[in-house]
Amino acid sequence: MLISVLFSSIIYQTSMNELNTRFDSFYSQIETSMTNYTVDNIVEFNSFRDSQLLKSQANLFVVLFYTNLVILVAAGLSSYFLARRSLKPIEQSHEVQSRFTSDASHELRTPLAVMKSELEVALRDKNISQAEMRELLESNLEEVNRLSELSTMLLQLSRSELSELDMEPIDMVRVVEKSIQRQKIAAKRIVLEKTDVKIYVEGNESSIGELFTIIIDNALRYSPSKSKVQVQVRTKGNCVTIGIVNDGQGIAPEDLPHIFDRFYRGEKSRTSQKESGYGLGLSLAKNIVELHNGSIKIDSVVGTTTSVTLQFERIPTE
């Protein structure tokens, strides 16, 4: 607005000076060309000139005033909407960070509170036996392991967001097979359907392996102990699709939109200590998929099956 008002002032002053100059020039031409003119003619001309100048001055002022008013309103509204649009990702990032900090604090506080209460009770009991002390230490060790697991997941999540991965052609079938082998005893429950053709994508083998480990581990964890988990590796054109399907309790429709949110866990998984996690695995999986320009989709029917579909761009092989 300062620039607009400044230019308006310059335009106003320049226009009035130009108008005055033209009137003076016109008056000089009339004075030169006319031989018989009287004082009344001069007064009449001066009066006409002054009235025209006042009208031009008023008209120019009104035009510039409304022009600046329109600029003020248009620029104000445009600035408001553009600022809101620009600040929206920052606002969302701030909300996510605040929620993440709050959830992380809660997850850390719970095992620490358990350890503190058990230790305080043990210190007050002067007749505590060796067996009770051993049970206490085992319980504390379990909580320490939970804290270690949580800190590891948080570190992996942070690295996946901040680091730039070294990409190279990797064989997806081989990476899937290695991820299945990591499950050790539970690997017997996994049925792998693959093609004999090598399938390559541009990616980071360590991160892709972590991705499959997370998805397969969830499929095994949230399915009956004797059920099978189907893993399919398929290709169509330049697209590679990996599907992981398991039977079990499924995911409620109201939970599906939030399944990739950090620390989010559906009510069923929250009530089962055996199956409960920290709600970070799928968030980390989604980050890995996005870093590889892929897509991840989860479909589930409560009480029957849950399927995870991963898609990546295939690169040609020599």
Q: Residue 277: which of 224, 217, 208, 206 has the closest Cα?
A: 217
Element (H, E) at 19: helix 2-33
Give phi and psi for 123, each to the nearest 5: -70, -30
**Structure confidence at residue 271 (pLDDT):** 40
Rounded CA separation 107/114 (Å):
12
- Which tokens is 303 given? 């009480």
**Structure confidence at residue 274 (pLDDT):** 46
pLDDT tens per residue across span 224-249: 888 999 999 998 888 999 999 999 88
CB 311 within 8 A of CB 294: yes
Give the helix ranges, DSSP H, for the chain: 2-33, 39-124, 130-162, 172-181, 205-221, 267-271, 281-291
Q: 38-71: string of b/e by CB count within 10 Å (b at 16+)?
A: eeeeeeebeeebeeeeeeeeeebeeebeeeeeee
Number of residues written out for the chain: 318
Rounded CA separation 152/277 (Å):
13
pLDDT tens per residue across span 205-217: 888 988 898 899 8
Specify the CATH number for 103-162; select among 2.30.170, 1.10.287, 1.10.3470, 1.10.260. 1.10.287
CB 279 within 8 A of CB 262: yes
**Structure confidence at residue 136 (pLDDT):** 86
pLDDT at 285 over 60: yes
Least confident of 28-32, 61-65, 107-111: 28-32
- Residue predicted with more confidence, 44 or 8: 8
Report the share of the chain in percent with pLDDT over 70: 83
- Residue predicted with more confidence, 262 or 304: 304
CA angle 196, 202, 207 (to 5 degrees): 95
Tell me the average pLDDT across 5-17. 85
Rounded CA separation 201/142 (Å):
39
pLDDT at 280 over 80: no
Mean of the per-residue pLDDT values of the chain: 81
Rounded CA separation 291/208 (Å):
10
Query: Of 1-15, 36-50, 83-97, 166-180, which has the strongest mean pLDDT?
Result: 166-180
**Structure confidence at residue 35 (pLDDT):** 57
**Structure confidence at residue 33 (pLDDT):** 64
Rounded CA separation 31/38 (Å):
11
The domain limits of the chain are: 2-88, 103-162, 168-315
Who's near 279: CB < 8 A, 6+ residues apart?
A: 103, 261, 262, 263, 264, 265
**Structure confidence at residue 30 (pLDDT):** 67
- Residue predicted with more confidence, 25 or 30: 25
pLDDT at 22 over 80: no
Distance of CA 8 to the CA centre of its chain: 44
Tell me the average pLDDT across 60-67. 87
The domain made up of 168-315 has a fold known as Heat Shock Protein 90 (3.30.565)
CB 100 within 8 A of CB 263: yes
**Structure confidence at residue 307 (pLDDT):** 93
pTM for the model stands at 0.57
Who's near 169: CB < 8 A, 6+ residues apart?
A: 200, 201, 202, 315
Q: Residue 263: which of 88, 129, 123, 108 has the closest Cα?
A: 108
**Structure confidence at residue 77 (pLDDT):** 92
pLDDT at 186 over 90: no
Tell me the average pLDDT across 161-181. 83
pLDDT tens per residue across span 96-154: 677 667 666 766 776 788 788 888 888 888 888 888 888 888 888 888 887 787 777 67
- Which tokens is 210 given? 């972590």
Tell me the average pLDDT across 288-306. 90
Rounded CA separation 271/273 (Å):
6
CB 60 within 8 A of CB 15: yes
